[in-house]
Structure 1
Amino acid sequence: MTMRVLTLGLLLTTTACSMTPKLTLPTPPVAATYPVEIDGEAVPEWQAMFADARLQTLITLALSENRDLRMAALNAEAARAQIRVQRAQGLPSVNLDTAYTRQRQPVGVARAGGGLNTGDAAGASFGQVTVQAALTNFEIDLFGRLRAQNAAATERYLASREGQRAVRLTVIGAVADTYLAERLAEEQLQLTEATLAEWQASLTLARQLHDAGQSSGLDLAQAEGQVRQAQADVAQRQRERQQATNGLVAAVGAPIPADLPPPISLGAQPIRTALAAYTPSDLLTRRPDIMQAEHELSAANADIGAARAAFFPRLSLTGAFGFASAALQTLFQSGNQSWSYAPAVSVPIFRGGELKATLDLSRIRTSIAVANYEKTIQTAFREVSDGLAARATFSTQRTAQSEAVQQAERRLALARLAYRAGVTSRLELLDAQRTVYAARQTMLSVRHAELTSATALYRALGGAS
């Protein structure tokens, strides 16, 4: 009875001690404000951020087919299962065991062992039926080792959940980026093909003037070289378009459906670019990668507690209660009860430095987790700052480039009239044509960069909560 009372008292004190140090998150190693502060609209859900119906269809498909996202979900489920495994180690393990044994002893051994005189002259035979419920090596967590392991498993599960959110946000951004790259490649190809057709018409005119003796062979050679260059550019743009399509298929994780909504040009893309930035402190609770790093830090800190607790004694309990009888029909009679009770204490004496090394390793891993947490915050701060800087300048750049295109087109129109009138040389017209071509290509690139920077800012802000 005294032992039972003692064990009950120990059980009641299982939550009295913890070796896990208190975790204090480091001060974010970034400035309190961004270098550029711009007001704007709140970060919307991705459906509102990317209002292009074609792009929405592709993102929806990617969220169900992308393999990175699928693996992240499976990793989260695996971490969740690990929590159940870890918690089960802190609960009693009870087994129901049944057995039947029968043996024969020589008559001399039987009489010496207990005076059995049943059986024939050569010996005695007897049987036994047992049924018992057994509690095996149940550890009483006096110093919080199991609780620290449970806490670490829980934090790693939460980290995997945040990792799943981070991958989901990355997939959305990757599909948007590859879609915009595919749109850019397609529109660049269309521009190059239109330019080639225009330059081929100019070459036809140059041949006519040359045949009529109104232009030199130099003008004709320049026109032919210009057409050949445009043909080479078309081949390059075709290759880039196919490669962009391949990248889009890889980002989605499935073949592109044939019945997608019609595409929207880069110039008319409804992607929101006027996003408002959260403060650096707000990013700590909005960015899934920062939350993931924080949970990983908490898990590493809990590992320190488990490593510390391993230095102290472990108290375990093994017990059994059941019935034993020589006959099955009398097994459950009150006089056939049997029980055993065996508490045990294990004190580490010599482990070859394993416990100290494990504790040191836990502390080092916690320091690594702190550095990773701080680095993740710094990366987030930079990404948001870059996004805000892009947003502050792209509008001005796009307006200026649009005006540059208009001026180049005006110059080309004047150069074409002057060339046909014989006022200027073919070289002036050639230069004007190339200037328009380059300005239009640059305009497409600027608009593409503006849209991709808006997508990057959306990811940097952690998407919608």
Structure 2
Amino acid sequence: TGDSTVQSQYGVNVGVASYELDLFGRVRSLKRSALESYLATEEARRSAHITLVAEVANAYLTLMADRESLRISRETLAAQQESVDLVQGRFDLGLGSELDLRQAQAALETARASQARFQRRVDADRNALAVLVGAPLPPLPGEDLDDPAVATLPDVPAGLPSSVLRLRPDIAGAEHALRAANANIGAARAAFFPRISLTGSAGSASAELSGLFESGSKAWSFSPSLSLPIFSGGRNRANLDVAEVRRDQNVARYEQAIQTAFQEVADALAARDSLSREEQAQSALVSATERSLTLAEARYREGADDYLAVLDARRNLLDARQQRVAVTLDKLTNRITLYRALGGGEQARDATLIGEVAAPRRDTPRG
């Protein structure tokens, strides 16, 4: 008409995000893959937790072993001081030689150096344990490995079924990774099929602001879209091949995790039996060397033998006691190793839970 006009349009809309109709299971497979990947990460966290618990336990046992070695060195030092006093008295009376006196003094200084060395190791063990704990150490139960609070460390009960290994975090994590890989194959296959996406919005529209929310002012829009993988067949084929290769890799990792678990448990069980026998033999050796030292000291007092026999007997006794500490430490750390090999937790230590542990948690995935 040649006349200028001004028109106004008011609208309030709420958009609906794009939504894919999962006709062929692509989104469902991606969701399952993401969930299994998360569960695999959770198993990795549990593995780190079990490792930390085992490291703290091993550090504690090492501290207890060095404490016992320190106690042995103190007892040896005290006994050696008594021997020096005895030899000095015999030397003053003209009943002993200067060689015996110097040998006794040398053994005394050796014992004093040994005590200082083990004191240093105990201090270092406490610092290492504090670093692992991440806080100042509270009062620790037990004084050394002979303390009942330490020596009665719970052992893994006999009769555990092999299915307990499924609770190991590395096996469970490998299982989740395998499930995620299988789900990725499903998503890669679904990419060959068309995808339908829906977008839309709903709200109110009016030429006047006052009538924006009155009846009859509703407005909506709906827009479907279809994606056909016509020119992406090569890419989809490559993605499917990659997904299948990754599935095969996860199958190999899963099988390797199972083989490693059986090997670690078998090694720990074999070591447990031999260490128990070795500890018994070492205890018998300590008793025999104690008797030998008693006889050597008696013969020296009676003048039937020189002081060299006493030195040899005391050295053999010290070696036997220190070796028994080492064997006892190996036996207790073997229990920690077996605890880790069985996946940690109460399932690896409580015989009352054998039936619960033996029950399968899930179906074994197939490659």
What TM-score comes out, normalization by structure 1 length? 0.68
Which residue of structure 1 lines up, in the alignment, with residue 152 of structure 2? 270
Whether 1:464 aligns to 2:329 is no
Out of 286, 290, 304, which is 2:167 matched to?
286
Which residue of structure 2 lines up, in the alignment, with residue 445 of structure 1? 326
SS, match of residue 6 in structure 2: strand
Shift of 1:408: 0.1
Quick one: distance in 2 between partners of 1:254 and 1:361? 47
Which residue of structure 1 lines up, in the alignment, with residue 110 of structure 2? 229
AA matched with 1:278: L
Contact kept, 8 Å, 1:160 with 1:292, in 2: the verdict is yes
Shift of 1:142: 2.2
- C-alpha change, 1:357 and 1:425, in structure 2 (3 Å) is farther
Shift of 1:440: 0.8
SS, match of residue 315 in structure 1: strand
Contact kept, 8 Å, 1:419 with 1:425, in 2: the verdict is yes
Contact kept, 8 Å, 1:196 with 1:231, in 2: the verdict is yes
- C-alpha change, 1:272 and 1:339, in structure 2 (3 Å) is closer
Quick one: distance in 2 between partners of 1:239 and 1:304? 58
Out of 320, 325, 328, which is 2:206 matched to?
325
Larger mean CA deviation between 368-377 and 160-169 belongs to: 160-169
Whether 1:152 aligns to 2:33 is yes
1:148-199: CA deviations, max 9, x gaps?
1110111123223333443343333332222111110111111112112221
Q: Which residues of structure 1 form unaligned runs of 5+?
A: 1-110, 118-122
Shift of 1:265: 4.0
Quick one: distance in 1 between partners of 2:96 and 2:143? 44
Contact kept, 8 Å, 1:178 with 1:247, in 2: the verdict is yes
SS, match of residue 154 in structure 2: coil
Out of 311, 335, 338, which is 1:430 matched to?
311
Which residue of structure 1 lines up, in the alignment, with residue 350 of structure 2? none
AA matched with 1:140: L
AA matched with 1:222: Q
Which residue of structure 2 lines up, in the alignment, with residue 98 of structure 1? none
Percent identical residues: 43
RMSD: 2.5
AA matched with 1:423: A
Quick one: distance in 1 between partners of 2:167 and 2:125? 31
**Paired residues for 1:31-430 under 5 Å:** 117=3, 123-258=4-139, 260-261=140-141, 263=143, 265-266=145-146, 268=148, 269-273=151-155, 275-280=157-162, 282-350=163-231, 354-430=235-311
- C-alpha change, 1:180 and 1:464, in structure 2 (3 Å) is same
Quick one: distance in 2 between partners of 1:350 and 1:211? 108
1:216-272: CA deviations, max 9, x gaps?
3332332232223222222221222122212222332321124x5554643532212
Q: Which residues of structure 2 form unaligned runs of 5+?
A: 348-367
1:404-435: CA deviations, max 9, x gaps?
11110000001011112221122111100000
1:122-163: CA deviations, max 9, x gaps?
x43332210223223222222222111110111123223333
Quick one: distance in 2 between partners of 1:156 and 1:444? 45
1:96-124: CA deviations, max 9, x gaps?
xxxxxxxxxxxxxxx68xxxx5xxxxx43
- C-alpha change, 1:236 and 1:277, in structure 2 (3 Å) is farther
Contact kept, 8 Å, 2:198 with 2:225, in 1: the verdict is yes
SS, match of residue 272 in structure 1: coil
Quick one: distance in 1 between partners of 2:79 and 2:165? 55
- C-alpha change, 1:266 and 1:455, in structure 2 (3 Å) is farther
Quick one: distance in 2 between partners of 1:322 and 1:455? 65
Quick one: distance in 1 between partners of 2:235 and 2:83? 83
Quick one: distance in 2 between partners of 1:339 and 1:407? 97
- C-alpha change, 1:157 and 1:434, in structure 2 (3 Å) is same
SS, match of residue 214 in structure 1: coil
User: Which structure has the highest helix share of the two?
Assistant: 2
Larger mean CA deviation between 239-248 and 344-353 belongs to: 344-353
Contact kept, 8 Å, 1:152 with 1:303, in 2: the verdict is yes
Shift of 1:278: 2.4
Instruction: Report how many aligned residue pairs link the two structures.
Output: 344
1:59-93: CA deviations, max 9, x gaps?
xxxxxxxxxxxxxxxxxxxxxxxxxxxxxxxxxxx
Shift of 1:370: 1.7
AA matched with 1:460: A
SS, match of residue 135 in structure 1: strand
Larger mean CA deviation between 331-340 and 433-442 belongs to: 331-340
What TM-score comes out, normalization by structure 2 length? 0.84
Contact kept, 8 Å, 1:274 with 1:391, in 2: the verdict is no
